[in-house]
Amino acid sequence: MADVTRAVVIGLDAFDADLARSMIDDGRLPTLTRLLASSTAARTITPPGTVVGAIWPSITTGCTPARHGFHCDRQLRPGTYELWNVGPRQITRPRLWNSLAEAGTRCLVVDAPITVAAPFPGGRQLVEYGAHDRFEPLSSAPPAFAEQVVARYGPYPIPHKCEEFAARGDYEGLRAALLGGAATKGRLLADLLALDDWDFCFAVFSESHCGGHHFWACHDATHPAHDPAMRARFGDVLLDVYDAIDAGLDHALASLPQDVTVMVVLSHGIGPHYDGQHLLSEMLRRMDDAQGSRPVVELRERAIRRLTLPARRRRQATPVDSARRFFMVPNNEAYGGIRLNVKGREPRGRIRPGPEFDATMDLLCDELRAVRNADTGEPVFSELIRTREVYEGPLLDTLPDLLAPWSRRAPIRGVRSPTIGEIRGVTRSRRTGDHRPGGLAVVRHPGGAAESLPDAVPVVDLAPTVASWFGVELVDVDGTPRQELAPPVTRAT
Whether the per-residue pLDDT at 111 is higher than 80: the answer is yes
Q: Which residues of 436-470 are buried (b: 16+ CB within 10 A; e: fewer)?
A: bbbbbbbbbbeebeebeeeeebbbbbbbbbbbbbb
Same domain (yes/no): 287, 188: no
Residue 61 has a CB neighbour count (10 Å cut-off) of 26
Whether the per-residue pLDDT at 1 is higher than 50: the answer is no
Which one-letter DSSP state was computed for residue 323? T
- Pair 279, 429: CB distance under 8 Å: no
Could you tell me if residue 370 is inside a domain? yes
Among the three residues 385, 400, 424, which one is the final residue of a domain in this structure?
424
Q: pLDDT for 27-61, tens place per residue?
A: 999 999 999 999 999 999 999 999 889 999 999 99
Cis previous bond, 78, omega within 30:
no
Instruction: State the greatest distance between any 2 C-alpha atoms of the chain, in Å, as a whole number.
Output: 71
CA angle 470, 53, 466 (to 5 degrees): 10
Residue 78 has a CB neighbour count (10 Å cut-off) of 11
Which domain range does residue 485 map to? Answer: 7-273+433-492
Among the three residues 372, 404, 424, which one is the final residue of a domain in this structure?
424
Q: pLDDT for 295-346, tens place per residue?
A: 889 999 999 999 999 999 999 999 999 999 999 999 988 899 999 999 999 9
Could you tell me if residue 26 is inside a domain? yes
**Phi (first) and psi of residue 344, to 5 degrees:** 85, -15
Same domain (yes/no): 77, 161: yes
Q: Provide the domain count of the chain.
A: 2
Q: Which residues of 241-273 are buried (b: 16+ CB within 10 A; e: fewer)?
A: bbbbbbbbbbbbbeebeeebbbbbbbbbbbbbb
Q: pLDDT for 125-147, tens place per residue?
A: 999 999 998 999 999 999 999 99
Whether the per-residue pLDDT at 493 is higher than 60: the answer is no
Which one-letter DSSP state was computed for residue 122? T
Same domain (yes/no): 229, 97: yes
Same domain (yes/no): 419, 437: no
Name the β-bridge partners of 204.
11
Q: pLDDT for 160-186, tens place per residue?
A: 888 899 989 999 999 999 999 999 999
Q: pLDDT for 434-490, tens place per residue?
A: 999 999 999 999 988 899 999 999 999 999 999 999 999 999 999 999 999 999 877
Same domain (yes/no): 181, 228: yes
Among the three residues 424, 446, 468, which one is the final residue of a domain in this structure?
424
Mean pLDDT of the chain: 95
Q: Residue 162: what pLDDT?
A: 87
Could you tell me if residue 1 is inside a domain? no
Model pTM?
A: 0.95
Same domain (yes/no): 190, 261: yes
Q: pLDDT for 247-279, tens place per residue?
A: 999 999 998 998 999 999 999 999 999 999 999
Q: What is the CATH number of the domain that holds 24?
A: 3.40.720.10
Could you tell me if residue 35 is inside a domain? yes
C-alpha–C-alpha distance, residues 95 and 93, integer Å: 6
Same domain (yes/no): 443, 407: no
Q: Residue 454: what pLDDT?
A: 96
Percent of the chain with pLDDT over 70: 99
- List, in order, residues 6 or more apart from 156 with CB less than 8 Å away: 129, 130, 181, 184
Cα Rg of the chain, angstroms: 23
Q: pLDDT for 74-103, tens place per residue?
A: 999 999 999 999 999 999 999 999 999 999
C-alpha–C-alpha distance, residues 124 and 146, integer Å: 10
| Nearest one of 49, 3, 121, 38 to 381, comparing CA atoms | 49
Same domain (yes/no): 329, 344: yes
Could you tell me if residue 57 is inside a domain? yes
Could you tell me if residue 36 is inside a domain? yes
Q: Residue 491: what pLDDT?
A: 67
Same domain (yes/no): 213, 242: yes
| DSSP secondary structure string for all residues of 375-399 | TT-SBSBS--EEHHHH--STTGGGS
Same domain (yes/no): 285, 249: no
Could you tell me if residue 185 is inside a domain? yes
Whole-number Cα distances in Å, 74 to 28, 312, 338: 38, 14, 14
CA angle 443, 207, 331 (to 5 degrees): 90
Same domain (yes/no): 139, 20: yes
Same domain (yes/no): 228, 95: yes
C-alpha–C-alpha distance, residues 308 and 321, integer Å: 14
Could you tell me if residue 2 is inside a domain? no
- Pair 44, 459: CB distance under 8 Å: yes
